[in-house]
């Protein structure tokens, strides 16, 4: 059951990422760089993969480098060896705002081996700072994605979107929509 659920989540995430690439190419007018971290499958003449080898296939999260509200640059690949939750959000999104306290609690409760990156999509630093000033309990690594390019790469066409990344950089799970704390813990527990 767990393997079926994992396969479904990975397949869903692959579909979201594929659609994001397609939409990103057609809606923004910008071309995606040739080496965007996603490798196209190569055709070969080998026998079809067995079910066992399919379970071992991994999809690696595209790397990104974004500036944080603290002025530091955060690169996803620098967190290799830790579990990572990437949450795409905006201050205008009520579901995003509602789940922020739970994300903060998750980051604090599992700080030994988990990094939570809250990627704000397409808002100004002053707007985000105003939100943080009004919500001092929010204590997360807030990253800036001012043009939504990283969000587009990850298929964040609707907010919030939360992605769970294993310590080896492979994507384990993803969830579009608001999560409650218990669901976030479940996502964390799925990570290797």
CB 83 within 8 A of CB 162: no
Whichever domain contains 81, its CATH number is: 3.40.30.10
User: Is residue 47 one of the residues assigned to a domain?
Assistant: no
User: Is residue 123 one of the residues assigned to a domain?
Assistant: yes
pLDDT attached to residue 192: 87
Task: Write the pLDDT tens digit of every residue in 138-177.
Answer: 999 999 999 999 999 999 999 999 999 999 999 999 999 9
User: Is residue 141 one of the residues assigned to a domain?
Assistant: yes
pLDDT attached to residue 57: 87
Helix (H) or strand (E) holding 56: helix 51-56
How many domains is the chain partitioned into structurally? Answer: 1
Distance in angstroms (rounded) separating the CA atoms of residues 94 and 1: 33
Task: Write the pLDDT tens digit of every residue in 93-114.
Answer: 999 999 999 999 999 999 999 9
User: Is residue 178 one of the residues assigned to a domain?
Assistant: yes
20 has a pLDDT exceeding 90 = no
Residue in the structure block whose two tokens are 């009520």:
94
13-17, 34-38, 163-167, range with greatest mean pLDDT: 163-167
User: Is residue 95 one of the residues assigned to a domain?
Assistant: yes
User: Is residue 35 one of the residues assigned to a domain?
Assistant: no
Residue in the structure block whose two tokens are 């079809």:
48
Residue in the structure block whose two tokens are 């509200």:
69
User: Is residue 105 one of the residues assigned to a domain?
Assistant: yes
CB count within 10 Å of CB 64 equals 20
Residue in the structure block whose two tokens are 């379970």:
55
């Amino acid at each position: 059951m767990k393997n079926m659920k994992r396969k479904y989540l990975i397949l869903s995430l692959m579909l979201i990422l594929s659609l994001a690439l397609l939409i990103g190419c057609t809606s923004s007018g910008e071309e995606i760089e040739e080496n965007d971290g996603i490798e196209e499958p190569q055709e070969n003449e080998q026998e079809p993969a067995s079910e066992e080898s399919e379970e071992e296939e991994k999809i690696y999260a595209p790397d990104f480098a974004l500036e944080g509200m603290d002025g530091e640059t955060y690169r996803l690949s620098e967190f290799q060896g830790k579990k990572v939750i990437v949450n795409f959000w905006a201050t205008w999104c009520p579901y995003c705002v509602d789940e922020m306290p739970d994300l903060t609690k998750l980051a604090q409760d599992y700080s030994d081996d988990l990094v939570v990156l809250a990627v704000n999509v397409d808002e100004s630093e002053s707007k985000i700072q105003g939100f943080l000033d009004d919500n001092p309990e929010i204590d997360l690594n807030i990253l800036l994605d001012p043009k939504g390019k990283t969000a587009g790469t990850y298929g964040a066409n609707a907010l919030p979107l939360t992605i769970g990344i294993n310590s080896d950089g492979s994507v384990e799970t993803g969830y579009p929509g608001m999560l409650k704390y218990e669901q976030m813990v479940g996502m964390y527990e799925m990570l290797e």
